[in-house]
Structure 1
């Protein structure tokens, strides 16, 4: 099964023999998360032979909780894609329909869970890369609040946007994996809340996320952002509306809200993400990291030929990001994108003064057919319209199966206020019970 669907780049078992809440569970690790002694390629020829000397914090914690790693999951190259087709190791196929993509960039992780090749999985979410494949494959995926989970050991794509997130077949199992990996890490300053902000300790230290999967939404107010439904496939909207409606019979109230800034979120997201990618991927020069073309004595030729190891999508994003940061264009593009990011955050903050969670389709479309979006990158970028605003605002979100349309999975996304993971988990578990 894993071979037919191309779920893993490397299949290798790591069992530390630990006893804990995840004992007996198998876990797939996205191949941009460092695993000691097991190659970590980021889906790229650039790192085809790279073997990290250390584990990422999330890997340490998952294995210490008793999970057994079964492989490094396939992914879009360096996390750049929405379909897991930009991998240098070939595309992953969707278990729900093998002629369709599993979503991306954590497609191998979500597909492994959907296919039963792993009980749990870890992905990374920069603009929807956990939630998109969760929706397309019919599983559950959580993008945590920025700073809830350590990024130490994650090969960086866009530092200010990305978070590692859990994937599983049920809300409770996904939340249990979040319990295992969340918390402060002295190696990642973004997880420190003991001396700053309104917290006197890290928010995960006093929280049981799995216990929040109780389905109790009585009295919960759910905001429906009209902008995140406009333009979505009618079949997706109908399925999501039905799932949201099931919560009203459980005591939840729905109200319409507006997030006018999200119309500009995709543009702002890609300018910021590509700019950060341009900076982060500069280290892969054949000297410090990655494959080397190996020209003796001519560094310029070595550098140029070394960078040919990147695929087309990665090159595109590096070039666009470098352009956006270049002299004379920084204020025109990057600064305006950061201004738009602040506007997105303000809109979310205003909405959460009125509601407990926001609900929308995770993806506005059904899973693409294999090859459909590769000829039109803009189509792939626009498919992220409902997920990228969450990363710009550094908020938590979950994708839970809402049902199917034409036999294909449809995901429902709940977005919560900062460190509101318990609330979105509760809402998602109610949908799970009803659907």
Structure 2
């Protein structure tokens, strides 16, 4: 019996010839990532027990992506604390505000997270690493143990295979696949349990670019997946080889690997989706939500913050203006993407449409420390989830959609079907070559 990709990754970093789901291991990660919001808590815990050094400082990456714009004295003080902590711990890979962007995107763009790698992360959306065929494992507050000892225990998760067959229709994006999946699971049309499982995608994947693969990794996180894995295509491998900052070896599941379950989705069955307030599983075909007034729109987050996502939005916004009563925030995922938007003239298109650009990072998705709503307002965004209160007031209504749907809705002033607006073909062609 063969092995799944995740079993192979964990076997390598655990020094084992082979592993099966359910086994307990203490893997030696290729990297450890900690985000700005948990540094103070982790360091305080270690200081209390007399640990003033970390086990392997060269492996640690500290990322400031949640509080990029200090919206309070507390945030500014946390920034100062984090800079001192990085210096005390001897962490060379410290990407402060303005130095990298979103920790779940820029390390893949820059060749720091590569196919076949494994790392520990304090944040849930480490699942994004699956976009290039890597495995990031969220350990939450246990990150302090990893910092102190270099590792912690984990149980090898089971893997669920989801085959994607066919092609998406024009105007439908990979983010819609995730909402459609959550909807099918909530309605029990698909009997999938992702709680502490790895969701591996299979099937017709070669046409999916980097941005689409990142989007595929987003929604399963909200369904409690321990990881997501997208087998790297030749195009992804070629990009990684050009930018790799270390040697890497891609992994793939064996043809006879043992999956806990296998499922299939026909992509032609998917229309643009809108997740109604409260949960990603509340998704419906866009026709059921079209016409709902929105006051606020946001394109970004670790689920839809890639350069391709920004190009998609620009292809709809080009030559148009957002509705007078709508405020639209654009948050590129990385500093690299921000520079490319400026160099390629895309930023001008977004600004001419009336959008506001924020620095690379989480943006409003970080509990709306920037760009909040007022009581009773409605938002449509590409945020990772739409739980009540995420953007401020509990009575604000939060809808989710793809970058195309959010851009179309910002123009219309209400939830709108992106298929009804012609997208600029030249910008879409630029998107196809974004990671060439």
Query: What TM-score do you get using the length of structure 1 for normalisation?
Result: 0.28
